[in-house]
Amino acid sequence: MDRVSFIESVSGIQYPELIVNFFDQFMVLHQIVQDSGSVSVIKNTESSILFLVEFKDHNYMKQALSGIQATSYFTIYGRQIKASIEILTDKIIQIQLQ
């Protein structure tokens, strides 16, 4: 499903902007992590999601960190989403997107 189809599918609900915002954040997370690890949602608010990412190995984590550290803002669908990271171990990080 692309973003246009997704927006059309949620247009009848009470908080479509919130759901679209979360969709955009998940798409940014996919750009960062791709298929290099597992992702869990730790918590979320109306404007941000905190993810725990466990990478398959340290090299995948280094690759993701280099992309995040190069720019803390990601542009997707014309929106800027800020990424903040906290390194927990040599294979686990927390990423907050807002």
- Note whether 52 and 37 are within 8 A (CB): no
* Residue with token string 């499903």: 1
- What pLDDT was estimated at residue 82? 92
Q: For residue 73, what are the domain limits?
A: 3-97
Give pLDDT tens digits for 28-87.
998 888 888 899 888 888 788 899 999 999 999 998 888 887 778 899 888 899 999 999
DSSP string covering 28-57, please? HHHHHHTTSEEEEEEEE-SS-EEEEEEESS
How many domains are contained in the chain? 1
Q: What is the pLDDT of residue 61?
A: 92
- pTM of the full predicted structure? 0.77
